[in-house]
Amino acid sequence: MVDAKSHVEAIRKENMTAGYSLFNLYSSYDWKHARLDIGIENLFDRKYAYPLGGAYIGQGATMGTGVLHGVQVPGMGRSVNVGVTLLY
């Protein structure tokens, strides 16, 4: 859980951000000489902005995304991670 950011520094062009909470899920399974790890981060694909994540300030050719100047950089969406460890 992250609280809203309401105290900002104008000279640094900081934006206020809303509070948010994310739900992450991790599990692993051990079997003989192997381990399987799986994780889902931001399970509900919540839209959020990191309080210290910065804002889009570039313009011109470097900002071909069409995002407006000064918009807060969004946090990462849902991601699924899988890993296998082999022990020998």
Task: Check: CB of residue 75 under 8 Å from CB of residue 48.
Answer: yes
pLDDT attached to residue 24: 97
- pLDDT at position 3 is 86
CA-nearest of 7, 18, 13, 9 to 74 is 18
Nearest to 5 by CA among 23, 14, 46: 14
For residue 75, give the amino acid letter.
G
Token pair belonging to 24: 């992450």
Percent of the chain exceeding pLDDT 70 equals 89
Q: Per-residue confidence at 11, pLDDT binned at 50, 70, 90?
A: confident
Chain segment 13-51, per-residue pLDDT in tens: 788 888 999 999 999 999 999 999 999 999 999 999 888
pLDDT value at residue 57:
73
pTM of the model: 0.71
